[in-house]
């Protein structure tokens, strides 16, 4: 069997169209402010990609560059100003932050209604309640891809009796693994979350109708870890060297093996990443609505 590719672009395009339509109804276009408190190249690259995505749909983008010397008071001071600025709809703190800055404390300082990254405890609390409003972008992307795959997700307890699918989420981070598991749990999936302490990954992953992998280790999940006919969502992004020494981007799943066993699989690149970016834009719209804009 060769799996169908579960591509992110069509889903991302639909979300972006919804975002554009929502902006067309607003008196003033929303604005996303991103704080770059580091000299990390990856964070700066991500900021550029965010700016491009925002401009494409009509969201204004401001980059607050604080550099690698930024300290806690400076970062929190800037967050305070952005919280108070009625023109700013969403705030995002780019990761990683400069050494010595407590990123969690900074995230807690962001007004929850402007927290478009979905990292404030108040927004993670909404996820526990089954809401996707200001949920972490990648978890929402996983959820959208799961819906697009057609796996059985149920809204009502009475519809799901004895029919809920088995899901295995590999990776238990706060912004991907845990919220993805919670959003799927709310649709009556039976969830197993695997992590560094899991004794036998294969025993769990091969039971899963939907396998979500979010670790950051190329080659962790092989064909033998996949149940025949399962849907595989590969969140991982890893830069590796191929046999000819060229650098390429791969996921956590050995694609060539899994594609022969799964029924559907997300490509890397071209799967989760595109939907994650679109979800950030959607979160800006959700934030605008929470602020009555």
Given the rule CB under 6 A, which residues bind ligand NAP? 138, 170-173, 175-177, 194-196, 198, 214-217, 220, 235-238, 272-273, 276
**Integer Cα distance of 121 and 127 in angstroms:** 10
- Report the C-alpha gap between 135 and 256 in whole angstroms: 32
- The answer to whether the beta carbons of residues 233 and 254 sit under 8 Å apart is no
Long-range CB contact pairs, 196-203, < 8 A, 24+: 201/170, 201/225
SS3 content of the chain, % helix, strand, coil (to 5): 40, 15, 40
What is the rounded distance in angstroms from the CA atom of residue 254 to the CA atom of residue 271? 15
Number of CB atoms found within 10 A of residue 77's CB: 14
103 versus 198: smaller Cβ distance to ligand NAP: 198
Nearer to ligand NAP, 88 or 168 (CB): 168
Task: Return the number of the residue (88 or 182) whose C-beta is nearest ligand NAP.
Answer: 182
- In the bound complex, what is the minimum distance in angstroms from residue 238's beta carbon to ligand NAP? 6
Q: What is the DSSP secondary-structure string of 200-263?
A: -HHHHHTT-SEEEE-S--TTSB-GGGS-TT-EEEE---EEEE-TTS-EEEE-SB-HHHHTTT-S
Cβ-based nearer residue to ligand NAP, 113 or 117: 117
Q: How far is the CB of 85 from ligand NAP (least distance, A)?
A: 27
CB nearer to ligand NAP: pick between 3 and 168: 168
Burial pattern 157-195, b for ≥16 Cβ within 10 A else e, equals eeebeeebbbbbbbbbbebbbbbbbbbbbbbbbebbbbe
The nearest distance, CB 252 to ligand NAP, in angstroms, is 7
When the beta carbons of 88 and 253 are compared against ligand NAP, the nearer one is: 253
Nearer CB in complex with ligand NAP: 120/172: 172
Please, what is the minimum distance in Å from the beta carbon of residue 76 to ligand NAP?
23
Measured CA to CA, the distance from residue 221 to residue 257 in angstroms comes to 9
User: Phi and psi for 20 in degrees, rounded to 5?
Assistant: -60, -40
In angstroms, give the least distance from the CB of 292 to ligand NAP: 30
In terms of CB distance, is 30 or 171 closer to ligand NAP? 171
| Cβ at position 105, least distance to ligand NAP in Å | 18
> Which among 76, 95, 83 is positioned nearest to 33, based on CA atoms?
83
Report, in Å, the least distance between residue 174 CB and ligand NAP. 7
CA 72-116-185 angle, 5° bins: 115
């Amino acid at each position: 069997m060769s799996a169908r590719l579960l591509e992110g672009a069509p889903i991302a395009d639909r979300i972006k169209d919804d975002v554009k339509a929502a902006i067309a109804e607003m008196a003033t276009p929303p604005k996303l402010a991103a704080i770059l408190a580091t000299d990390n190249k990856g964070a700066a690259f991500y900021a550029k990609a965010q700016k491009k995505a925002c401009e494409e749909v009509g969201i204004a983008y401001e980059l607050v560059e604080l550099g690698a010397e930024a300290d806690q008071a400076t970062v929190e001071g800037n967050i305070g100003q952005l919280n108070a600025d009625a023109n700013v709809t969403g705030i995002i703190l780019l990761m990683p932050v400069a050494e010595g800055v407590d990123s969690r404390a900074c995230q807690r300082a962001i007004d929850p209604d402007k927290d478009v990254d979905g990292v404030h405890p108040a927004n993670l609390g909404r996820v526990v309640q089954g809401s996707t409003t200001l949920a972490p972008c990648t978890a929402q992307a996983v959820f959208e891809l799961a819906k697009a795959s057609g796996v059985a997700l149920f809204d009502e307890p009475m519809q799901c009796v004895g029919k809920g699918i088995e899901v295995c989420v590999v990776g238990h981070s706060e912004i991907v693994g845990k919220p993805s598991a919670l959003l799927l749990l709310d649709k009556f999936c039976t969830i197993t979350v695997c992590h560094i302490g899991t004794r036998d990954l294969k025993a769990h992953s091969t039971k899963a109708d939907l396998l979500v992998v979010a670790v950051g280790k190329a080659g962790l999940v092989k064909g033998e870890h996949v149940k025949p006919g399962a849907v595989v969502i590969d969140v991982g992004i890893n830069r590796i060297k191929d046999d000819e020494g060229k650098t390429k981007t791969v996921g956590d799943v050995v694609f060539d093996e899994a594609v022969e066993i799964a029924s559907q699989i997300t490509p890397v690149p071209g799967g989760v990443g595109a939907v994650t970016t679109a979800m950030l834009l959607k979160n800006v719209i959700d934030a605008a609505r929470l602020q009555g804009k």
